[in-house]
Every structure is written in structure tokens, then in C-alpha cells.
Chains A and B, each alone.
Chain A
């Protein structure tokens, strides 16, 4: 095997082990999305009867948000893990090995992709058991996972960039608060038609809106909506921008 691919592979395996060691660390990212999904779908179900709301149940409307949120919460851990590796000295051990630096970044992204896929499968299974139906079928499920994984890798880069630039665990951990404006300044809880115009305009500029709308289209409508393409564009755009900045940060840090 080419040394670049073998470095990537072995580092990925090491990182993937971090996902379930310890096993209990897997649970917290599920708690809040399931809690909010359960509470909101029960307490706000009457919203679905408001004129202007799409012809679906509120539970189905917010189901994509539950899957998305679980991945959103956990993807930020990549930065915290990187700070831990830097502070413990483990990262220095890696950078004085004859390995390709790009492999270090790609292995981290691979870990996030695997983690997102696993969480996505668990969340989707729970939602299907709750009665949610995916109109776009099996291929739609694959498309949902693809959007989520691309987004998760992009979002994990924010944590990694902060880790490389600050090496401060508290600061990297505090980036968690960014999840809330990014998640709630969207159409996650209410359709655009029911939002005040200023709020609606803000949501248009939030890439997370387009990702949620794309997943929602796949869950509720099938394959006809242009929102699916916009979701891939938004996630892909974030991926390109943030991975580029991560590589620049790595290069700067390692020179």
C-alpha cells in the first residue's frame, strides 16, 4: 500500500477507536436531539394546523432536525480531541514521524464521517420506529447521510482550526454555543412562510437552513425539490472552505 494511504488508514483506525472509547461518550449527543424531538413533536403538534404550514405532521416536519442536531453536536468534538492530543504531547509524536501531514487531517475527517454515519443510522432507526416515513426511499436515506457527513466533516474543521490556532480546550469547547444560533436562525422549527420577514431573510443566508431544507425535502417530498441540490451545495461549499482553512492551519502549525 502506498505510504500516504497506509498512514491515512492506520490513523483513521486509531481515531475511529476514539469514538467508542469510552462507550458512554456515545450517548450524550443523542440525548438533546431525542429530548427536543419528543418534547416539540408532542407540545407543538398544533402548529401543523396553522395556515401556511405544509401538509405534514409537525413530528415529520422536525424529524430531519433531530438527525441533523445529533451530528451537529458531536462533530465539534474533533477539535476537543485535537487539543487533547496537542496538550498531552501525542500530536508532537505524530508530527516527528515520517508521515504525510494531509493523512493526519484526512484521518480526523474519516473519524467524523464514520461517527456521523453511525449516529445517523441510530437516529434514523429511532425516528422510523417513531413513525416517521422517508418519502425518497432507500436512495433518499443515502442522500441524507451524504449531506450530513459532508456537513459534519466541514463543521469538525471549525474545531480543528481553533485547536491548532489556540490549543485551548476551553475555547474550543465553547465553540459549542455557535450551534444554537446556526441551528435556530433557520427554518428548523417553523416553515419560512410563517417567519417574520427579517428573520426569514437571515435564515436565507444561513447555510444550515439549506442543509435542513434539503434533508426535509428528502424526508417529506421525495426527489422533486431543488432544495436537495442546494443542501449539497451548502454542505459542499462549507467543506471546501473549512477543509482548506484547516490544511492552512496545519501547514502553518507544522512548519
Chain B
């Protein structure tokens, strides 16, 4: 019920879209300066209200893709449509429709949680009464009401992640992008985030999740696409994927489809921060 109030009738007017896809990606490609082709003409759709998992080993192109979906990285070619709006033609309208909890939590260290949420609400041009109501509901959702007036620099890792999640929901987005939302969290904090995400999705929010935790993807996602070397290598519900690849769990599916070991991190000298990439 809580979430009904949080996303409820979105702050943004709904836009009709054919075949009920809220995200549509066609032949999306990204070539970085220097010639590295991070994303090689991928196409996929995410249905309205779906909990969508986007997985892949390090360097597969997941973060580049998610960053292209919010225009933090410029695509080289292809087409992105969000809630019926072509991304590059309706940037501000798309920004009103999406929330993004990034890998970097990115909090204002010298502001309190309440101050940050008020500022973000105002920057989304929401009416003040609606901002206050939304702040109260979101802080309750992520169980941070008691520390709402403390500086965010005093928060633990789990509190920061939960607050970041609440912050990304301040403007009642229809789609929530999550890039490694439980990275570095203890099991208790992970479970809390999972519970919040399940609740949001249950009430109709579309969630686009990238994660390295296969148990997370298996537990949360309705449908999963696995990406490797810039291409989508398989797609389906967790059950379908396990059956299709004759695997006991998603980790096995992942290893069979990508041939990568989880946590086998590589240094990619040609992969600057997404913000730097946005310049190209």
C-alpha cells in the first residue's frame, strides 16, 4: 500500500506505447574513441511493470548500455525509446520518467537526507506539498525517518544505498534503473534493499537492474538478458534460462553463456568514467 502512494499515479502523465514496452532498444551501438566497440548493435524491449535483469561479466557493456539509456553516454548509433519517447528528442521528459540509482551513491556529504530530497524534488519542479508528502513516504519506506535530519556523511554503507534508492524515487518515476544496487552491502542490508525493490515492482514500477549477484537476479527478476562482449547472448525468465542451458542455478547459466568467472575483474585502461565517456 505504501508504494501505491509513492509511485501511485505518476507525477508524469503516462504515454501510450505499442506492445506495452516501456523501454525499447534497437540496434544500439557504442564505439569509444580509440575504436573499442563496447556495445555491438543490441536490441531488446522491457515490458511495463517488468523486473528486468541485465547481466554480464565485467567489461561486457552493461554499464555503457545503462548509461546510454539515460544519455550519460552518447550512443554511436541505434534507437532508444523510453515510455514512447525517443530519448534524444525528449531528454527532459524522459528524465522525469526515470530514476537512476547508480553504482556511485553520490550523496551530498554536507546536506541532510531531508535537504537533499527537498532539493531534488524542487529540481524536478514538483509542487512543495507533494515533495513533503513524498519525502515522508520514502523515508518510511527505506526506514530512515529517524536520521532524516542528520548529514548523509554520517550514514553507514547500507543506509547510504537505501537513501540513494529513496532519492531516485522522489519524482515518482515510472522506471527505476539500478546499477549494482547491493554492491558492498552485508546480507541484512541486501535483504532490506530486495524487499524495497520487490515492493516497488509489485506496485507497478518497471525496474531495470544490473548486478553481479546471480542469486539477486534469480530472486528478483521476471526476465533476464545476459550480455557478453557487447552482445546479448541469451534471454528469458530465470526458470527458462536454467532449463534452456541445463543449469542448476543462474550462476551456472551465467558461466555457461559467458565463460567468465564471477569476480574475475580486469582493468580496462580504455574505459574511463562514464562521465568522461559522455564527452565523446
Residue ranges of A at the interface with B (Cβ–Cβ < 8 Å): 3, 6-7, 10-11, 13-14, 17-18, 21-22, 86-99, 167, 252-255
Contacts and interface: CB of A to CB of B under 8 A. Distances in A.
A13 B115 CA distance: 11
A92 B102 contact: yes
A92 B104 contact: yes
Interface in B57-103: 70-72, 74, 91-93, 95-96, 98, 100, 102-103
A136 to B, nearest CB: 38
Nearest to A90: B106
Given A167-B273, A253-B275, A6 B125 contact: yes
A97 B91 CA distance: 9
B106 A88 contact: yes
A3 B92 CA distance: 12
A119 to B, nearest CB: 19
A6 B125 CA distance: 8
Interface residues of B, number: 35
Contacts of B36: none
Q: Shortest 5 CB-CB distances between A and B: which pairs?
A: A89-B106, A89-B104, A98-B92, A21-B110, A90-B106
A93 B167 CA distance: 10
B111 interface: yes
B72 A10 contact: no
Interface of B: 70-72, 74, 91-93, 95-96, 98, 100, 102-111, 115, 119-120, 122-125, 167, 273-276, 278-279
Contacts, number: 81
A98 B275 CA distance: 17
Contacts of B98: 96
B77 to A, nearest CB: 16
A10 B275 contact: no
Contacts of B125: 3, 6, 98
A17 B110 contact: yes
A18 B91 CA distance: 29
Most buried by A among B71, B124, B125: B125
5 contacts: A90-B107, A93-B102, A98-B92, A252-B279, A255-B74
B278 A255 contact: yes
Contacts of A255: 74, 278-279
A3 B104 CA distance: 28
Given A11-B123, A17-B110, A89 B279 contact: no
B109 A98 contact: no
A17 B119 CA distance: 12
B278 A10 contact: no
A96 B71 contact: yes
A201 to B, nearest CB: 39
Given A3-B125, A13-B119, A98-B91, 8 more contacts: A86-B275, A88-B105, A88-B106, A89-B105, A89-B106, A92-B274, A98-B95, A98-B123
A10 B119 contact: yes
B223 to A, nearest CB: 25
A3 to B, nearest CB: 6
A6 B122 contact: yes
Given A22-B110, A98-B95, A167 B276 contact: yes
Contact of A10 (B92, B105, B107, B123): B123
B269 to A, nearest CB: 16
Given A96-B100, A254-B278, A14 B108 contact: yes
B247 to A, nearest CB: 35
Contacts of A98: 91-93, 95-96, 123-125
A252 B124 CA distance: 23
Contacts of A92: 72, 102, 104, 106, 274-275
B119 A88 contact: no
